[in-house]
């Protein structure tokens, strides 16, 4: 029988069962995975312990009887004498209470000497307790893990919300080093916020949902420094600061401590309690965890989607254009599109000696209907030049994305948009026709006396004349 079944059958919590096992009164078998299996003999021993402890038989006397160092009859005789002594003491206390009431004593006028008895007959006040002296602990690794996972997810969600609302950062394609930074910031949040929650409420959101709380030995909340020390040890010895492999080992070690009934290093001198183990708590945690993860997904969705959809004015098109320029970090040689669709060009000394087609972005031509943008195009015509022709893939990408109609599925939209940007970066000097994300795209390119490279089209040295012509058009698809 597993420990969970034993708890239900005997109405004894596992902390007490672990205590009796530690004292040598119980010896359950262990599976290969370390789980305890209790036999019929173990259950009988538990019932014996419950009965004799209710008679205030000490742990030492129980251990002595188990070793056959003493007999039950001898222990019972001794206990009967002690109980009789306690009964006499209770009677004496009753008489003193009646006498104090009869004389109208108050706390201010009370003189204890007249009521104190001599200690000729030694009694055993508070010699026995119904429960072990060890502080209660929750040896449930799954419940504890998901409480911690929920809290950590909550801190991470708060951090991502801060990033989005203040800096409008792309969370989906965040560089690896920034992901590490996010993880570190989340741990710092946990380190400073969790002690506040433990000090004020004795619990955290994840623990509260699963019916867990933490307090000092006397039932008062932890002081902030105690909560801080505990959280730091959780991060260090329980989570390994989320360093790969190290965190795996620390989680395995923590799991084994739980199933073996050992206290975690951060829970020494701390009472860890559980209210109940209702299934509804796990269901509620799952629902709330899904909501938290959905918030992160929603942030990514809102961030990537164009600010304006449907029928677009020139200003709205420009806002979408600049939105995707920021997301994909496309420099456009320092150029930026104004709300009027004119180019904003900062001073660049290269403009003084480079040809016009190298330093000037393409002029965007808008096809309008009823005040809304139907299509955007540009024409490039370069002749007899000794300079390269810039590939216009970045402009093509931003024009197309600014006009797109996104799908409801963020992942599918992002995947198609990424492929579009990648395709244009490699094939902007090729002729093609395509339709993607609600945009019909046509690119006509014709050149002579040039050779292609990845970023430029270079003029051939031994050719006297050359030309490069490109006509690009992106139009909203007709439903």
Distance in angstroms (rounded) separating the CA atoms of residues 292 and 436: 32
110 and 179, same domain (yes or no)? no
SS3 call for 243: coil
Structural domain harbouring 413: 314-476
Do 161 and 295 lie in a common domain? yes
Residues 389 and 291 in one domain: no
Nearest residue to 304 (alpha-carbon basis) of 291, 316, 320? 320
Of 104, 134, 164, the one marking the end of a domain is: 134
pLDDT tens-place values along the chain, 479 residues long: 888 888 888 888 777 888 888 888 888 888 877 788 999 898 888 888 888 888 888 888 888 888 888 888 888 888 888 878 777 777 777 787 788 788 877 766 767 777 665 444 334 334 444 444 567 889 899 999 999 999 999 999 999 989 888 877 777 778 889 999 999 999 999 999 999 999 999 999 999 999 999 999 888 999 999 999 999 999 999 999 999 999 999 999 999 988 888 889 999 889 999 988 899 999 999 999 999 999 888 887 888 889 998 899 999 999 999 999 988 888 887 788 888 888 887 666 666 656 666 667 899 999 999 999 999 999 999 888 888 788 889 999 999 999 999 988 878 898 999 999 999 989 988 999 999 999 999 999 999 888 887 777 888 888 888 899 999 999 998 76
Q: What CATH number is attached to the domain comprising 50?
A: 1.10.1660.10
Query: Is the domain of 175 the same as that of 269?
Result: yes
Q: Which of 101, 134, 167 is the last residue of a domain?
A: 134
Provide the total of helices (H) and of strands (E) in the chain, helices listed first: 15, 14
Domain count for the chain, please give it: 3
Q: Note whether 26 and 17 are within 8 A (CB).
A: yes
In DSSP terms, 247 is beta-bridged to none
* Residue 347: per-residue pLDDT: 61
| Long-range contacts, stretch 148-151, CB < 8 angstroms, 24+ apart | 148/206, 148/234, 148/238, 148/239, 149/206, 149/289, 150/205, 150/206, 150/209, 150/285, 150/288, 150/289, 150/292, 151/190, 151/194, 151/204, 151/205, 151/206, 151/207
Residues 127 and 237 in one domain: no
Q: 239, 254 in Cβ contact below 8 A?
A: no
pLDDT at 314: 94
Based on the domain organization, do 324 and 462 belong to the same domain?
yes
Tell me, yes or no, whether 234 lies in a domain: yes
Report whether 342 contacts 316 (CB < 8 A).
no
Task: Report yes or no on 36 lying in a domain.
Answer: yes
Claim to verify: residue 187 and residue 332 sit in the same structural domain: no
Write out the DSSP string of 355-399: -HHHHSPPPPEEEEETTEEEEEEEEEEEES-SS-EE--HHHHHHH
Q: Which two tokens stand for residue 177?
A: 């080093």
Cα–Cα distance, 401 to 324 (Å, whole number): 7
Asked if residue 337 and residue 219 are part of one domain, the reply reads no
Residue 5, SS3 per DSSP: helix
Q: Which of 38, 212, 226 is nearest to 140 (CA)?
A: 212
- Is the domain of 292 the same as that of 331? no
Q: Give the span between the Cα atoms of 206 and 153, in whole angstroms.
A: 10
Give a yes or no: residue 170 inside a domain: yes
Alpha helices in 175-333, H assignment, sequence order: 176-201, 205-209, 224-233, 246-259, 279-304, 314-327
Asked whether residue 446 is assigned to any structural domain, the reply reads yes
> What phi and psi values does residue 404 have, to the nearest 5 degrees?
-70, 155
Tokens of 479: 């439903």
Distance CA 38, CA 20 (A): 13
* Closest by CA position to 386, among listed 363, 360, 357, 362: 357
Contacts (Cβ under 8 Å, ≥6 apart) of 469: 379, 380, 381, 382, 444, 445, 446, 447
114 found inside a domain: yes
Q: What is the pLDDT of residue 52?
A: 84
- Residue 271: CA count within 13 A, CB half-sphere: 16
- Check whether residue 274 and residue 256 sit in a common domain: yes
Where is 470: in which H helix or E strand? strand 467-476
Rg (CA), the chain: 38
Dihedral (CA of 155, 158, 162, 164) sign: positive
Does any domain span residue 309? no
* 106 and 189 belong to one structural domain: no
450 within some domain: yes
CA distance 162 to 85: 68
CB of 278 closer than 8 Å to CB of 211? yes
- Whether residues 299 and 321 fall in one domain: no
Gap between the Cα atoms of 331 and 328, Å rounded:
9
Q: Using an 8 Å Cβ cutoff, are 264 and 238 in contact?
A: yes
Q: Is residue 453 part of a domain?
A: yes
Question: What CA–CA distance (Å, rounded) separates 119 from 116?
Answer: 9
Q: Give me the phi and psi of 314, to 5 degrees please.
A: -60, -40
Report the run of H or E that residue 77 belongs to, with start and end. helix 72-102
DSSP assignment string, 106-150:
-TTT--GGGTPPP-SS---TT---SS-SSPP----HHHHHHHHHH
Q: Which domain-ending residue is among 247, 273, 304?
A: 304
């Amino acid at each position: 029988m597993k420990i969970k079944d034993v708890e239900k059958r005997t109405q004894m919590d596992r902390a007490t069962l672990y205590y009796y096992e530690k004292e040598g009164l119980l010896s359950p078998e262990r599976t290969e995975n370390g789980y305890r299996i209790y036999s019929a003999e173990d259950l009988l021993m538990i019932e014996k312990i419950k009965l004799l402890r209710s008679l205030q038989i000490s742990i030492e006397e129980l251990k002595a009887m188990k070793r056959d160092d003493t007999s039950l009859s001898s222990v019972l005789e001794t206990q009967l004498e002690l109980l009789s002594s306690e009964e006499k003491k209770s009677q004496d206390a009753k008489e003193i209470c009646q006498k104090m009431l009869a004389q109208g004593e108050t706390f201010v006028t009370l003189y204890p000497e007249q009521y104190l008895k001599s200690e000729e007959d030694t009694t055993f006040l508070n010699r026995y307790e119904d429960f072990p002296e060890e502080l209660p602990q929750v040896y449930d690794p799954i419940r504890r893990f998901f409480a911690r996972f929920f809290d950590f997810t909550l801190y991470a969600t708060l951090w991502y919300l801060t990033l989005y609302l203040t800096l409008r950062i792309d969370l989906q394609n965040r560089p690896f080093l920034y992901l590490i930074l996010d993880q570190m910031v989340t741990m710092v949040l946990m380190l400073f916020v969790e002690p506040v929650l433990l000090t004020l409420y004795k619990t955290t959101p994840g623990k509260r949902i699963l019916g867990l709380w933490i307090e000092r030995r006397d039932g008062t909340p932890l002081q902030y420094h105690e909560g801080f020390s505990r959280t730091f040890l959780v991060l260090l010895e329980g989570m390994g600061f989320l360093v790969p492999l190290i965190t795996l080992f620390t989680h395995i070690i923590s799991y084994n401590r739980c199933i073996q009934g050992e206290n975690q290093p951060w829970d020494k001198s701390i009472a860890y309690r559980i209210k109940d183990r209702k299934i509804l708590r796990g269901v509620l945690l799952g629902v709330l965890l899904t909501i938290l993860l959905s918030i992160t997904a929603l942030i990514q969705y809102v961030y990537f989607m164009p600010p304006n959809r449907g029928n677009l004015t020139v200003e709205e098109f420009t806002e979408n254009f600049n939105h995707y320029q920021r997301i994909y970090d496309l420099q456009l040689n320092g150029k930026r599109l104004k709300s009027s669709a004119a180019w904003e060009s900062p001073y660049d000394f290269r403009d003084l000696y480079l040809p016009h087609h190298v330093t000037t972005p393409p002029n965007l031509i808008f096809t309008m209907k009823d005040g809304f943008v139907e299509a955007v195009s540009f024409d490039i015509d370069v002749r007899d030049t000794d300079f390269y022709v810039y590939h216009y893939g970045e402009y093509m990408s931003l024009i197309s994305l600014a006009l797109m109609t996104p799908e409801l599925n963020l992942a599918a939209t992002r995947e198609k948009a990424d492929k579009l940007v990648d395709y244009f970066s490699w094939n902007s000097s090729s002729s093609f026709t395509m339709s993607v994300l609600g945009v019909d795209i046509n690119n006509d390119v014709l050149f002579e006396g040039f050779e292609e490279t990845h970023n430029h089209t270079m003029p051939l040295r031994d050719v006297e004349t050359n030309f490069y012509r490109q006509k690009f058009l992106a139009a909203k698809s007709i439903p």
